[in-house]
Amino acid sequence: MTRTVITYGTFDVVHIGHINLLRRARELGDRLVVGLSTDEFNSKKHKSALLNYANRKAVLEAIRYVDLVIPEASWEQKIEDVKTHGVAVFVMGDDWTGKFDFLRDACEVVYLPRTAEISSTEIKQTMVSSATSAST
């Protein structure tokens, strides 16, 4: 029987921290499903991405650890995704510890340590700062 793992995120400006998370998540099973935040959902979360959904999806689909990318359109869809995809393990970074424990009735919940000294937010801030400096 296939052991399916699922994780979620925006995956904007993919970096080694994302790759480490995806690799470690995939090591917990035979199949990795990634719920990718849609542009509309990011907007509802007051979050923005440098790349649109289609671009971020194409990048994720090219990563060897990822078997399937699905749209994440709401916080509430997670329980349905677990059921629909036969998920055995739900994985998130440890900065989310405790936030998804409600899924423990449906599957194993694992919070993986983040990769030290790498941050999407810092990368994006540096990019914006560099672009602003270059244009002035």
All structural domains of the chain: 4-135 (3.40.50.620)
* CA–CA gap between residue 118 and residue 95 (Å, rounded): 13
For 32-42, write each residue's pLDDT tens digit: 999 999 999 99
Active site residue 47: yes
pLDDT band at 1 (very low <50, low <70, confident <90, very high): confident
Mean pLDDT for 68-89 is 97
pLDDT band at 130 (very low <50, low <70, confident <90, very high): low
Predicted local distance difference test score (pLDDT) of residue 126: 57
Task: From the candidates 45, 57, 78, 83, give the one annotated as an active-site residue.
Answer: 45
Mean pLDDT for 16-41 is 96
Q: Which DSSP helix (H) or strand (E) runs through 4?
A: strand 4-9
The bridge status of strand 87-93 relative to strand 31-37 is unpaired
Task: From the candidates 47, 78, 83, 99, give the one annotated as an active-site residue.
Answer: 47
